[in-house]
């Protein structure tokens, strides 16, 4: 484990995987994800071993070994975290983002010097009013839960109200061993909401919001994911100045690394 210090003084922990010559990519997880999550570890190892990439796999603030800024949930801070990681990578790096991490990667690409390319896997943009649109007052209820450290309640609330998961599905997850990992990262969901809130309104994405993304972008989705996520991914690709959309066969929102990693690796190693 290594660390960097973000602009506001927050310590961000990361693992450097591989020492390839094909460039560097920073992995950005979504809600409840963290750097030691099996999927993130497998992805980092595969990109390093099979594609010669140097991979920085980090804990977003409030997760794992990274520090937090309790009560301060500003997307600018998470963008600054990524800027510090790009600097640690030598000043240049591509970004891979999953779910809310995909949206964060795209936002960072607008502002962080040295970002060379972005792969955005299923950014959860809600562009159709018929899909699940989170309540406008979500933060008013979420933030007090976090302040009171009501972790189980926070998991249930964020999954059902922000992500739109069925209540029964979330209740069943409460019985699985993985629930403790969800609870452990639950207080970081306010950071996810800070990223996603403007883009889950059931409205079309405005290309003007993304015109400053000057790097090549690959937007990915799986053919086994929800139609809402597919609509959001296609909308993102259409709104970005230089983006390609691709659908991966046999892949859901919880991806198969054997299929996802080659799509990422091929794109990044082909992008100067």
pLDDT tens profile 21-50: 999 999 999 999 999 999 999 999 999 999
Range of the domain at 182: 138-195
Same domain, 229 and 113: yes
- For residue 258, is it within any domain? yes
- Both 148 and 238 in a single domain? no
Q: What is the pLDDT of residues 69-96, one digit of tens each?
A: 999 999 999 999 999 999 999 999 999 9
End residue of a domain, out of 195, 226, 244: 195
Q: Does the pLDDT value for residue 20 go beyond 90?
A: no
The mean pLDDT value for 144-169 works out to 96
Asked whether residue 64 is assigned to any structural domain, the reply reads yes
* Domain boundary residue, one of 195, 211, 232: 195
Residue 106 forms part of a structural domain: yes
The C-alpha R_g of the chain, in whole angstroms, comes to 17
pLDDT per position as a tens digit, 213-253: 999 999 999 999 999 999 999 999 999 999 999 999 999 99
Same-domain pairing of 72 and 167: no
CATH number of the domain that 91 lies in?
3.40.50.1820
Domain shared by 172 and 225, yes or no:
no
Label the pairing between strands 217-222 and 243-248: parallel
Confidence bin at 272 (pLDDT 50/70/90): low
* The pLDDT of residue 145: 98
191 and 89 housed in the same domain: no
pTM for the complete prediction?
Answer: 0.96
- CA dist 198 and 137 (Å) reads 13
- Provide mean pLDDT across the span 9-17: 98
Is 133 a member of any domain? no
Shared domain for 187 and 151, answered yes or no, is: yes
Given a cut of 90, whether residue 211 has pLDDT beyond it is yes
Is there a single domain that holds both residue 243 and residue 146? no
Q: Is 224 exposed, middle or buried (0-12, 13-18, 19+ CB in 10 A)?
A: middle
Residue 7, pLDDT score = 98
Structure confidence by residue, pLDDT tens digits, 161-202 = 999 999 999 999 999 999 999 999 999 999 999 999 999 999
Residues 218, 115 share a domain: yes
Return the structure tokens found at 253: 């929102």
In a domain, 132, yes or no: no
**Do 170 and 83 lie in a common domain?**
no
Vertex 84, ends 82 and 271: CA angle to 5°?
55
Q: Residue 271's pLDDT band (boundaries 50, 70, 90)?
A: low
105 in a domain, yes or no? yes
Number of domains in the chain: 2
What's the longest Cα–Cα distance across the chain? 48
HSE value, Cβ hemisphere, 13 Å, CA-based, for 12? 27
Mean pLDDT of 113-139: 97
- The answer to whether 70 touches 149, Cβ cutoff 8 Å, is no
Indicate if 27 and 95 belong to the same structural domain. yes
Q: What is the DSSP string of 14-36?
A: EEEE---SS-EEEEE--TT--TT
Assess if residue 59 is contained within a domain.
yes
Statement to judge: residues 238 and 213 lie in one domain: yes
Specify whether 115 is located in the same domain as 161. Answer: no
């Amino acid at each position: 484990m290594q660390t960097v210090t973000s602009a506001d003084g927050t310590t961000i922990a990361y693992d450097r995987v591989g020492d390839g010559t094909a460039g560097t990519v920073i992995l950005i997880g979504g809600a409840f994800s963290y750097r030691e999550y099996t999927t993130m570890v497998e992805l980092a190892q595969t990109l390093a071993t099979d594609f010669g990439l140097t991979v920085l796999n980090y804990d977003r603030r409030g997760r794992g070994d990274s520090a937090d800024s309790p009560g301060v949930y500003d997307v600018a801070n998470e963008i600054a975290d990524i800027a510090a990681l790009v600097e640690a990578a030598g000043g240049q790096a591509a970004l891979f983002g999953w779910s809310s991490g995909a949206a964060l990667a795209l936002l960072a690409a607008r502002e962080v010097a040295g970002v060379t390319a972005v792969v955005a896997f299923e950014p959860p943009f809600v562009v159709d009013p018929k899909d699940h649109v989170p309540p406008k007052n979500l933060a008013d209820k979420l933030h007090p839960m976090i302040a009171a450290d009501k972790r189980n309640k926070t998991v249930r609330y964020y999954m059902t109200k922000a992500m739109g998961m069925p209540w029964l599905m979330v209740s069943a997850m409460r019985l699985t061993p993985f629930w403790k990992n969800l609870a452990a990262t639950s207080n970081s969901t306010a950071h996810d909401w800070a990223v996603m809130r403007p883009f889950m309104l059931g409205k079309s994405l405005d290309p003007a919001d993304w015109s400053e993304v000057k790097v090549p972008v690959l937007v990915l989705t799986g053919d086994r994911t929800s139609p809402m996520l597919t609509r959001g991914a296609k909308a993102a690709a259409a709104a970005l100045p230089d983006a390609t959309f691709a659908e991966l066969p046999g892949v859901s929102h919880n991806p198969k690394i054997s299929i996802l990693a080659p799509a990422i690796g091929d794109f990044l190693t082909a992008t100067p």
